[in-house]
Amino acid sequence: MITSCQLHQLKPGQKAIITRVGGPSALRRRFVEMGIVKGETILIERNAPLGDPVEYFIKGYHLALRKEEAAQIEVQLFGGAE
């Protein structure tokens, strides 16, 4: 089963495919420079002790994003945690 949601709503261990990158143009450009593009697979690694930022694994490297930034990215979630 595939579910669509925002990236910041996912829990550690979940994997998803990016379906849309939103936000102001400067933020979208920054996302593209970091490899966050439509069709790319992203894995949620872990949350910081206070919950923000969240560490993601994409294109072979680890990336930390604030929840506010991650809310601009829509993803389709794979069935369960992998």
The verdict on residue 59 lying in a domain is: yes
The structure's pTM equals: 0.84
Residue ranges making up the domain that contains 27: 3-77
Average pLDDT over residues 65-75: 93
- Mean per-residue pLDDT for 29-52? 91
Number of domains in the chain: 1
CATH number of the domain that residue 54 is part of: 2.30.30.90
- Region 62-82: mean pLDDT is 84
Find the length of the chain. Answer: 82
pLDDT digits (tens, 9 = 90+) for 8-37: 999 999 999 999 999 899 999 999 998 899
Answer whether residue 82 is part of any domain: no
Measured in degrees and rounded to the nearest 5, phi and psi for residue 5 equal: -160, -175
Query: How far is the C-alpha of 58 from the C-alpha of 42, rounded, in Å?
Result: 5
Say if 8 falls within a structural domain. Answer: yes
47 lies in some domain: yes
- In this prediction, residue 51 has a pLDDT band, given cuts at 50, 70 and 90, of confident
